[in-house]
Amino acid sequence: MAKSSRKSAARSAPRAANAKPLAKPSRGEAEEAVRTLIRWAGDDPRREGLLETPSRVVRSYEEFFAGYDHDPKLVLARTFEEVDGYDEIIVLTDIRFESHCEHHMVPIIGKVHIGYLPDRRVVGISKLARLVEVYARRLQIQEKMTAQIADALQEVLKPRGVAVVVEAAHQCMTTRGVHKPGVSMVTSRMVGAFRSDARTRREFLSIIDMAGQRGIPNA
Ligand SMILES: [Zn+2]
């Protein structure tokens, strides 16, 4: 992300309850923290191969966590269109995302499937992908991200219902701890018609299942 956009973009970083916002550390402080972690890992940050690593890591963090600089509701607010009476489910499948788990700060990589039942208004598909990105590029837990995507869509677009399913592999499970490669976690959030009407929910689940041959059990 362009550095110049960081100042003007809406700040929506969550903070601890009752806590004042913490000042953002300087780039130099962030790089120093990386040197500390290199030493903690057991290496010498003065070693030639590691000299540029702190600045690279800090630049990577700007990319990984760019979501804090963007307001997800503004992402959606910009493009509403009238649709001539289209009132069937709209589904976008397999939106790839990369996020980081807030417990270990290692990658969560997966796919998001979004469905909604429009009520006069629709949103461009690129905006749905962008919405996923704004939430993914933060420290996350999958359950929270699933709910945030669904709730933002419901709040801004006010459709008759929203369904979000997220499938992801967590590197904190595959590369450390219990070391279980190949495990993926599936979370879902059903709102409005997708929650109250089993047929609508089944239609969504069968569409995403057809798209990916996933065998997700119908709810
Ligand atoms: Zn984790």
Q: For the segment 109-131, what is each residue's pLDDT rounded down to a tens digit?
A: 999 999 999 988 889 889 999 99
- Residue 89 DSSP symbol: -
How far does the centroid of ligand 1 lie from the alpha carbon of residue 109, in Å?
12
**Looking at residues 22-42, what average pLDDT do you find?**
97
Is the pLDDT confidence value at 1 over 50?
Answer: no
* Mean pLDDT confidence for 23-42: 97
Q: Output the pLDDT for position 80.
A: 66
For the segment 166-184, what is each residue's pLDDT rounded down to a tens digit? 999 998 887 777 777 778 8
How much distance in Å is there from the Cα of 101 to the middle of ligand 1?
5
Please report, rounded to a whole number, the percentage of residues in the chain having pLDDT higher than 70: 87
In this predicted structure, what is the pLDDT of residue 79?
Answer: 59
| Residues annotated as part of the active site | 101-104, 142, 170, 172
Residue 164 has pLDDT above 90, yes or no: yes
Looking at the predicted structure, is the pLDDT value of residue 5 above 50?
no
Mean pLDDT lowest among 8-12, 52-56, 78-82: 8-12
pLDDT of residue 16: 78
pLDDT digits (tens, 9 = 90+) for 64-100: 999 999 999 898 876 566 677 778 999 999 999 999 9
Residue 6 predicted with pLDDT over 50:
no
C-alpha 108 – ligand 1 centre gap (Å) = 8
Average pLDDT, the chain: 88
141 Cα to the center of ligand 1, angstroms: 8
Q: Quote the ligand 1 centre to 197 CA distance (angstroms).
A: 34
- For residue 161, the CA-to-ligand 1 centroid distance in Å is 31
Question: What pTM was computed for the model?
Answer: 0.86
The mean per-residue pLDDT over the stretch 42-67 comes to: 98
Q: How far is the CA of 107 from the centre of ligand 1 (A)?
A: 8
Cα(91)–Cα(162) distance, integer angstroms: 10
CA–centroid distance for 163 within its chain: 15
Coil, strand or helix at 21: coil
pLDDT band at 212 (very low <50, low <70, confident <90, very high): low
Residue carrying the six token digits 């190949």: 182
Question: Among 164, 149, 80, which Cα is nearest to 120's?
Answer: 80
**H or E stretch covering 65:** none
* pLDDT (0 to 100) of residue 19: 82
3-state helix, strand, coil in the chain (%, to 5): 45, 25, 35
